[in-house]
Amino acid sequence: MTIPKETLEKWNALRERGDMILLAKKTGVNRTSLHHIFTTGECSVRVAEKINVFYKSRQNKIKSITLGDPEEE
């Protein structure tokens, strides 16, 4: 399948150092293949779903971090 461009851009925006190692363990795909996925957007539905779950979790964690004034909380 071809991952939609918008999804691939979001994954790359959320990507951090060490993600390829974590994703390799979660997906069962080697790091070279993962780099290929992130550059071409081509992979299986199974792998795309696992990567998407990984980055949705990261996005939720980022959203939970706030830097508001303690008096506002």
CB 22 within 8 A of CB 54: yes
Quote the mean pLDDT of the chain.
92
Band (pLDDT 50/70/90 cuts) for residue 20 is: very high
Compute the average pLDDT of residues 48-63: 96
Q: Model's pTM, two decimal places? A: 0.84
Instruction: Supply 19's token pair.
Output: 């993600």
